[in-house]
Structure 1
Amino acid sequence: MIHSFKSLWKKWRASRGTVQQLDALLATADADAPYAERSDWLIELMHWIHRRGTLDATDLARAASDDEPRSAPPEHARVRYLLHVLERNPAWRANVGAIIRKLLRESDSISLLCDAGMPVHSGLTGALVERIQAQLIPPAPSRRDLAALFTLMFPNDNDPDWIATLPLDLLTRLHALIVEPEEARAPLPSTALAGDEPDAAATTPRGRQRSDFPVDLLTALHNLTSQISSTGLSSTVRSRLLDDDAPADVERLPFYRLNRAMLAVENARDAGEPERLLQEVRWLRLLLDSCRAATDDVFAHLYRHGVRVDTVFQVDRMRMRVQRAERLLDAWMASHDVRLQARLVADLVSANQASQSVSHLLRSNFALLSRKVVELSADTGEHYIARNRAEYLTMLRMAAGGGLVTAVTVYVKFGITGAHLPSIVEGVFAGLNYALSFLAIHFCHFSLATKQPAMTAPTLARELDGTGKAPGRARFVSSVVALIRTQAAAVLGNVLIVFPACLAIQLVFGWLFDASLISPEKAHSTLQSFSLAGPTPLYAALTGVLLWASSVFAGWADNWFVLHRVEDALAWNRRLRLTLGTSGAARFARFCRANAGGVWGNVVLGMLLGLVPAIVSAFAFQFEVRHVTLSAGAIGVAMGVLGAATLETAELWWAAAGVASMAVLNVTVSFGLAMQMALRSRGLRHKDVRPLMRALQRRVVRRPIDLFWPMRKSRDGAKAGRH
């Protein structure tokens, strides 16, 4: 009881203290103080609004609105109480309004309106150092910079949310507090834009509005359009918009006409011609839309012809500037709409926070890298998804061929380990064995099950773009079901061939030469090493990471080949044309283009599977590759050596369970990492994927057979259409 009383007493004193603190803060407001003192005073006022202490119930009741929802952010109640106190004290209200107006006039608003949220460095290192410095050394209140003032005023992540959701009555009262007293009673300048006669008193002799905010919006808009035009006309962007086979026509680009459209808007505004101004604003909006469409065309060109990080950085920043210019234009044309102004301020606060956040920088750079890898692997991944029965049976045949080649790989691997070489040397030879095997599978157009997930996830990422509507969700769910079914077919095809092939080779060798390819002791240790009760699941998951990493290297190789136009260089190479002929050089160039990513990815995967276990085991912990197809073949060899009596031993069935876990973990880990990269490349988070997962669950519950055997094409199409 005493403890509860003390707790209530402390809460009461804290709540009274917050009200007293506000009264003391408002009493010391001085509109004639130096800039640094005024900005510091405003920062302290915002800190009071951010405080989590509860206001006194009696004072809050006087200021409360009947329409205020109970779930409203606590900042709304504090803003409402602040306005209530100011309206009861006209002198305090006049001082507070004058302080805010003078700070807005004397601060550089361009830094906030134009530059907030816009990346400055194309490289990760420079941007990271800059943001860490900003975290360690915050800006001083004496800087006449609105972005710096916003940084100090709005440090919390929830600030954009409560600002954007301020009720209309609070926004109206805040607007009346900030604007000049005579302006609050006069018609807003935007009413003249709607067709009324322009107010002669609305501008000063210099042509500035009574409130400087609309003028600042126009100045920022002018700055943004100049930056957009400059980037759009640079050789980096221009070369990707103009047709190589047509004469260069720069004047048809929207970036070329953007500056003139902006000047026309400013001239119409200065001339006081509302109808002409509306016409010029419409033309400016149209050009901004065209600039956004041109930006999308540049991205499409990049992902078709190779990605360079610096170019993507410039184009992405140009797209952000186009979006910001559209928001500023909306706010300038609707300066009477307080809700729109609040949303603009919330967006600026959010962008300003993002421009100084280290975590946001890392997420955005990872998203850029993800999109780079994803887009380049999507076309390859489409070949690994069987969507109908014909493709399903083809996948089974391809997987069977891959299992047959892997049987040879298993025996070569046993030969390498039996030589008892130093671990690194053994890793090099094992990697070469794997690489040659994977290359043989690639050029024979066979399939290795665990290589598919890393390639197919990017294909699904493209379909994530249309999941906002029912048809897009149905396509995505159908693709996921087809992918699961394809993986089952690939694993089944690999295992059902590699296991009997390895077993048959050992039996034939034993029948012909009365000897075993490996010793019985090695066979027993092989089965024991695959046991589900041991570290096999961990090793299988780490192997899935290596499988995913190989797809990243394959995407990089594809990008490098396309970006540097190696295909054209080979097709027009003088020596190749003299040696192979014109058509032969062209065929060779197409062959290299089609196989660049596949060859590099297979070589890297082989060397990763061979060298990484040796390196990790030497410097960290014991690690061995656990690949489902290779392990199934090794079990076949062990059974051939130990004979049918092995079927009655527990070690065989524990090893079989371990191989089953490999099938699951190899596929799920590599696919999960690739899918995570795909989601990042689209800026999606887990909450955005939950509806898709629910739709997938409904599909699986309704027709579980789809996971193992495809429907007929007509029924599959009808089914997808009903989702």
Structure 2
Amino acid sequence: MLTTLTRLLKKWRASRDGGHQLDALLAIANKSAPYADRSEWLIELAHWIRRGREVQQSNNEATTEQATEQAATPATPRSNPAHTRIRYLLHVLDRNPTWKANVAGILRALLRESDGLSLLCDAGMPVHSGFFGALFERLEASLIPPAPNRRDLTAIVTLMFSADHDAEWIAALPTDLLIRIRALFDYEPDEAETQNTAPFSLDLLAALHNLTCQISSTGLSQIVRSRIGEVDASDTRETSDVRIAMEKQPFYRLTRAMLAVEAAHQSVAAGEPQDKLLHEVNYLRLLLDECRSATDKVFAHLYRNGVSVDIVFQVERMRMRIVRAEHLLNAWMAQDDPHAGARLTAELVNANHASQSVAHLVRSNFSLLARKVVEYSADTGEHYIARDRAEYLKMLRMAAGGGLVTVVTVCVKFAITGVHLQAMLEGLLAGINYAASFLLMHFLHFSLATKQPAMTAPTLARELDGTGTPAGVDSFVSSVMALMRTQAAAVLGNVLLVFPVCFGVQLLWHALFNANIISPEKAHATLHSFSLIGPTPFYAALTGVLLWSSSLIAGWADNWFVLHRVGDALAYNRRLRLTLGAAGAARLAQACRSNVAGVVGNITLGLMLGLVPAILTAFAFTFEVRHVTLSAGSIGVALGVLGKDALKLPELWWAVAGVGSMAILNVAVSFALAFYMAVRSRDLRRNAVRSLRGAIWQRVFQRPQELFWPTKTAPDSK
């Protein structure tokens, strides 16, 4: 059955007038009600404060007092509805002592009967030790909100302050309101409350002790300890040296420093001077700052030696605890400052709100992995930007070689489709064909034009770091011009070779065997499928997504190889050393390190180009790969089958236009996705990138020839 307070709350929710709603709500406040009823009452009071409408006061006396207070405190932001409502609430309570006593009793009981450590220590901190555990935890919390009968301050805060802007208006509370709120908590306590209620400062101290223990435990764990810094083997002559080095770590001394602070606090409570307490607190602050610096070393180690999402999660959670401990320490030392409590409350509300966000968890823990993956692509992409004439001609040769390999790929593709196998098996064989061709290009150092944008975009994003100076802007613009010029050369090198060679192969095949590679019907169907009028642009854009995905997987593979130190395992493998010798094993390890990302990226790209269309067509929607180089070769074969009469067919020229759209969309989509990820991994603002567009257009209008041919001298070359 519903309690009396719950029934009254239902009637209160039906009211529309803000002032009457507050009167009705304060009238049913009962500090002796059950815990769940009091929690529900506080939640409704918080919702009334957050509602955002100005209170229509029906009392001239209240209006006069509010105007007087605002005149006395001109810094009070009248535009904040939450502040106005709190001011009106406090005025109504001052005029009704009975209501004020009940509200004060409910607030004190909330702090006394609820678990405050859960809010002070755990709000915003993931409970699970791994990334995916925390992910499912947040998904579950978003589906099942906490119940108000939980004796947990985190649950009450979650239900009371659920909006994004709550932390802002709490932190901006003016001084006069903070003083009156503190006075409300101390209004007419019962004798039993005075005897049984511990000061909130003790909760802060207990929470600080809890956090320092957790920080110390994580900092001394193997995943952090092994990455803070390695002891120089030349200086380590005894085992005890390693132990001494560990004892110098701030995590090892943190718990002792916290115990010293607690002992000094007890001495102050016994009447001793505060000098010792201030000394111990300053030492604790120093250790927390050193712990923060140590976490930076861990992230630097991860960046150099491979990134694991779970390790990033653990270290990021430790960093959050360090920041929380600093906030608690500041609030504990500034108990007489009302703004310190407001800042702490706002930080807890903001952290608790962030702890419910799945997007925040993913963004905060994948940023370093994204940066590592992007940096691999940036290092690789530098080789695909021709900054002078020699590099430009080299790129043309590499693209021509890639087009020559693609001729074989196109012929094998037609042979596979001519067998008319089951769709999934045909997709698998096509994927193997593509993967073999891409691997051959990789080891022959040839180039496939559409693979380059996903590699070169991170290179440009890395150069954004230096755009704060005119020289940096000029260097970035020069790189953009070189990139567009190189992409055009790569596409032309692929297409201008694959088209005529495929055409010649068809003619040669017909001359030798009196047969065609494909039937005339298949040739017509091929031209029709590439037409610009139809789904070709959409398919080309999706193909660009696959091209970008392969570069992402290649970066992940490179990170995995480095993270697990596979190169060292190969170089020091006993059997490899016995078989190849120490130098041979080292060369094998280096070769694997140099090619693992390329091999994985090319294999996955080939398999995706073959299998993804079959899978999507079977389970979602019709999809076919539209790759500019492969399609240009297919048109060459089809033209050889149909002969010169095909030049009069509109479908041929619509297919040529479709290949042009493929060239644009394959490159543009893969480049845009890679560039967006690179910018996000470097935490660059969108307006900073947008400001460079004018400089790029200015260079295009001033020196348009750079889009097609590099200048004779390359002052911006690197």
* Equivalent residue, structure 1, for 2:246: 250
Work out the CA distance in 1 between the residues paired with 2:121 and 2:474: 40
CA–CA separation in structure 2 for the residues paired with 1:317 and 1:466:
31
1:609–1:568: structure 2 CA closer, same or farther, 3 Å change rule? same
C-alpha distance in 2 between matches for 1:211 and 1:483: 67
**Within the alignment, does 1:699 sit opposite 2:695 as a pair?**
yes
Quote the offset at 1:361 in angstroms: 4.6
Deviations 1:271-326 (A, max 9, x none): 34444444433333332222222212222222332333332221121111122222
Contact 1:15 1:54 (C-alpha < 8 Å) held by counterparts: no
Aligned residue in 1 for 2:215: 228
Which residue identity lines up with residue 228 of structure 1 in the other structure?
A: I
1:656-667 equivalent positions in 2, closer than 5 A: 656-667=656-667
Change over 3 Å in CA distance of 1:329–1:495 after alignment to 2:
farther
Q: Percent identity?
A: 66
Kindly report which structure 2 residues correspond to 1:453-532, keeping only aligned pairs within 5 A, or say none: 453-459=453-459, 482-507=482-507, 516-532=516-532
Q: Tell me the equivalent position of 1:280.
A: 280
Tell me, yes or no, if the aligned pair for 1:16 and 1:55 is still in contact at 8 Å: no
Question: Contact 1:506 / 1:516 at 8 angstroms: preserved in 2?
Answer: yes
Which range moved further: 249-258 or 500-509? 500-509
Please list, as runs of the form range in 1=range in 2, the aligned pairs for 1:269-418 lying within 5 A after superposition: 269-272=265-268, 273-358=273-358, 360-361=360-361, 370=370, 373-374=373-374, 377-386=377-386, 391-418=391-418
- Residue 16 of structure 1 deviates from its aligned partner by 6.8
Name the residue aligned to 1:17.
17
Distance 1:343 1:452, change over 3 A: farther
Query: Whole-Å Cα distance in 1 between the matches of residues 347 and 413 of structure 2?
Result: 59
TM-score computed with the length of structure 2 as normaliser: 0.84
Report which stretch shifted further, 232-241 or 138-147: 138-147
1:116 equivalent in alignment to 2:123: yes
Name the Cα RMSD after superposition. 3.7
- In structure 1, C-alpha distance between the alignment counterparts of 2:659 and 2:144, rounded to whole Å: 55
Match of 2:439 in 1: 439
Q: Aligned partners of 2:255, 2:77: CA distance in 1, in Å?
A: 48
2:403–2:498 CA contact under 8 A, matched in 1: yes
- The farther-off stretch of 376-385 and 618-627 is 376-385
How many residues matched?
Answer: 678
| Separation (CA, whole Å) in 2 of partners of 1:343 and 1:464 | 35
Give the aligned partner of residue 255 of structure 2. Answer: 259
Distance, in Å, in 1 between the alignment partners of 2:310 and 2:493 is: 44
Task: Report the AA paired with residue 143 of structure 1.
Answer: R
Which deviates further from its counterpart, 167-176 or 144-153?
167-176
Asked if 2 retains the 8 angstrom alpha-carbon contact of 1:460 and 1:476, the reply is yes
Cα deviation for residue 591 of structure 1 reads 0.3
Matching residue within 63, 69, 81 for 1:74 = 81
5 Å matches for 1:601-612? 601-612=601-612
Aligned mates of 1:551, 1:71 — CA distance in 2: 53
Give the match's secondary structure for 1:114: helix
Partner SS, residue 703 of structure 1: helix
Alignment of 1:196-207 (within 5 A): none
- The CA distance in 1 between the partners of 2:112 and 2:712, in whole Å, is 70
- Residue 56 of structure 1 corresponds to 56
Q: 1:437 deviation in Å?
A: 0.8
Q: CA deviation at 1:353?
A: 2.2
User: Structure 2 counterpart of 1:170, which letter?
Assistant: L
Code of the residue aligned with 2:184 in structure 1: it is L
Deviation larger for 566-575 or 36-45: 36-45
Which residue identity lines up with residue 255 of structure 1 in the other structure? F
Decide which moves more: 527-536 or 384-393: 384-393
- How far is 1:21 from its partner? 2.1
Cα 1:169–1:499 shift into 2, 3 Å: farther
Deviations 1:46-105 (A, max 9, x none): 122123555216558543536589893432221222123234445544543443234224
The 3-state SS of whatever aligns with 1:293 is helix
> Would you say 1:155 and 2:162 are equivalent positions?
yes
What are the Cα deviations for residues 326-383 of structure 1, in whole angstroms up to 9, with x where unaligned?
A: 2223333334444443232122112212323455456556657645644554433443
1:108 to partner: Cα distance = 2.1
Structure 1 Cα separation of the partners of residues 485 and 279 of structure 2: 57
Structure 1 residues 607-636: Cα deviation after superposition (integer angstroms, max 9, x where no partner): 111222233334444322110111122222
**In the alignment, which residue of structure 1 is the partner of 2:178?**
171
Instruction: State the alpha-carbon separation in 1 of the partners of residues 386 and 179 from structure 2.
Output: 59
CA shift in 2, pair 1:460/1:217, >3 Å: farther
2:203 partner letter:
D
Structure 2 unaligned residues grouped into runs of 5+: 1-12, 237-241
| Per-residue deviation, 1:583 | 0.5
Tell me if structure 2 keeps the 8 A contact 1:473–1:692.
no
How many Å apart are 1:18 and its aligned residue?
2.1
> In the alignment, what sits opposite 2:9?
none
- Compute the displacement of 1:606 (Å): 1.0
Give per-residue Cα distances to partners, 1:633-663, cap 9 Å, x unaligned. Answer: 2222333344445444322221121112112
Moved more, 110-119 or 363-372: 363-372
Given that residues 312 and 365 in structure 2 are in contact (C-alpha distance below 8 angstroms), is that contact kept between their aligned partners in structure 1?
no
Letter paired with 2:587: R
In 2, Cα distance between the equivalents of 1:394 and 1:553?
Answer: 27
Distance in 2 separating the partners of 1:123 and 1:116: 17
Q: For the residues of structure 2 that align with 1:275 and 1:475, how far apart are their CA atoms?
A: 56
How far does residue 239 in structure 1 lie from its aligned partner after superposition? 1.3
Distance in 2, Cα, partners of 1:141 & 1:421 = 61
Give SS of 1:239's match: helix
Partners of 2:587 and 2:393 lie apart in 1 by 30
Q: For residue 198 of structure 1, what is the aligned residue in structure 2?
A: none
User: d(CA) in 2 for partners of 1:467 and 1:29?
Assistant: 60
Match of 1:200 in 2: none
Inter-partner Cα distance in structure 2 for 1:497 and 1:283: 71
Query: 1:224 touches 1:321 (CA, 8 Å); kept in 2?
Result: yes
CA contact (8 A) 1:15 1:55 kept: no
Q: Cα deviations across residues 129-177 of structure 1 (Å, max 9, x unaligned)?
A: 5445444544343433211221121122332232233344433433443
Secondary structure of the 1:534 match is coil
In structure 2, distance between residues paired with 1:264 and 1:426 = 72
Give yes or no for contact 1:180–1:211 (8 Å, CA) kept in 2. no
| 2:387 and 2:717 in contact (8 A); partners too | no
1:425-452 per-residue CA deviation (whole Å, 9 max, x = no partner) reads 3322222211111001111222212222
Amino acid at match of 2:535: P
Give the CA deviation at 1:233: 0.6
The equivalent of 2:6 in structure 1 is none
| Aligned ranges 1:559-578 → 2 under 5 Å | 559-578=559-578
Q: What is the identity, as a one-letter code, of the residue corresponding to 1:226?
A: C
The aligned counterpart of 2:686 is 690
1:666-688 deviation per Cα after TM superposition (whole angstroms, max 9, x unaligned): 22323333344445555x5xxx6
Comparing 362-371 with 431-440, which one deviates more in the overlay? 362-371
Q: Which stretch shifts more, 529-538 or 75-84?
A: 75-84
CA distance in 2, matches of 1:180, 1:469: 59
Among 182, 185, 202, the residue aligned to 1:215: 202
Aligned ranges for residues 535-550 of structure 1 at < 5 Å? 535-550=535-550
Q: Partner letter of residue 693 of structure 2?
A: Q
| Alpha-carbon separation, structure 1, partners of 2:48 and 2:543 | 54
Over 3 Å counting, the alpha-carbon distance change for 1:703 and 1:459 in structure 2 is closer
Instruction: Report deviation, 1:595.
Output: 0.8
Residues 1:139 and 2:174 aligned together: no
Mapping of residues 626-641 of structure 1, within 5 Å: 626-641=626-641
Unmatched segments (≥5 aa) in structure 1:
1-12, 183-204, 719-723
- The amino acid of 1:243's aligned partner reads E
